[in-house]
Structure 1
Amino acid sequence: MRNREGKTINNLQELWTILEITAYTADYESSQKHPDDPLYGITYSGTKVQPWRTVAAGPDIPIGTRVFIPELSAMLNGGIFIVEDRGGAISNAHLDIYMASLKDARNWGRQHLEVLMWLAGDFNEILAKIDSDRRRRWRDREALAQLFP
């Protein structure tokens, strides 16, 4: 990890960036699985989804990556999530927070928030993929233009 001065700690590097953040549930609307499906509520990594812990991330963000969202630091999880899931519509510039209810997920909507990820792997390659996906796939073009002129 790199601290704010850019030093590497424990072979992880800090990446501060702004991502598009949405929410999902285990319900059919999000997962296309019914409660009687043996994989209902099971993440890509094989863990059981947990509200305010599990996030889905793009294919180049390693499973197990810890994510801190300062805007959510007052939550019980302290704003810290773990990448445990993937999603067909989830790009590298997008996180999807697991929530217990569809109502909560819909109320969350689509937000653009600063996040800190502690990454293993090729930092520059991951950063380039996030930037590329952000420019190609963010739906909110106005937010993109304001945040990344």
Structure 2
Amino acid sequence: MLNNKGFTLIEVIIVATIMCSIVVVMQYPSKYLRDIEHRVFVDTVYSEILGIKELANQGEQKLLINTVDGSDKISIGNKQISIPNHVEVFMSRNALYFGNDASDVKSGTITIRYNNKQTRITLTPVIGKVNIYR
């Protein structure tokens, strides 16, 4: 009588294929969620900048945009937005601001990098226009 206590080659290949498939499926949502988190971050920063521009036009004092020292946040007006771990934020100046006159703008660029993608949000001097380049 034969004693068969092992696995056949087919069984090992099927188990390895199933395990590889699970690993691939687990990695996809993570990258997809990081992509969504990046897009939401860029849209939030852009909309907050437009919001403080409107507040400045309505007579508020100078409203600053800067990175918070020693943390992973960007400060826009009175709001602080957390920067995702996989995103890098660079500013062309230490601080940008809108004054109570549309021409009172400290212009510059906020560059947001993620996974070889770069988004730039620029504040144009004098006219105070805000542009986003994806």
Which structure: larger Rg? 2
TM-score by length of 1: 0.23
Q: Please state which structure has a larger fraction of its residues in helix.
A: 2
Q: Please state which structure has a larger fraction of its residues in strand.
A: 2
TM-score by length of 2: 0.25
Query: Higher relative contact order at CA 8 Å, sep ≥6: structure 1 or structure 2?
Result: 1
